[in-house]
Amino acid sequence: IMANHLVKPDSRNCKRTRELESQMPDSPQLSSLGKSDSSFSECSGLFYKDETLEKDLNDMSKEINLMLSTYAKILSERAAIDASYIDEIDGLFKEADIIENFLIQKRELLRQRFTVIANTLHG
């Protein structure tokens, strides 16, 4: 009974180790060792693609920055033009106020003169 009992765990251990051995070739470390040359060439191709992609991204980034700075310059120029228009309109309003006040004063002077003339004619 004792020998029988010992045989069963051993056979279980053997089965387990066989299962592990059958799984080992599927593990990433062993499979990558067998393909080291091809994976190296793939990696170097990826590095080249990454460098090209990085260069393209840098070029695009420079172009975008240039476009944004040009757009910002145009916006600031337009803002300056708008500000000059506002200043010009302010000047025109001030001038209009001055002319309006001058005309009001002239009207008052004319009214006073007409009053004087009317008084002299009635008198």
- Give the integer Cα–Cα distance in Å for 82 and 21: 80
- Grouping H, G, I as helix, E, B as strand and the rest as coil, residue 123 is coil
pLDDT in tens, 41-51: 555 566 667 78
pLDDT on residue 52:
86
Phi, psi (5° rounding) for residue 45?
-65, -40
Q: How far apart are CA 121 and CA 114, in angstroms?
A: 10
Kindly tell me if the per-residue pLDDT of 11 is higher than 60: no
Question: pLDDT for 56-75, tens place per residue?
Answer: 899 999 999 999 999 999 99
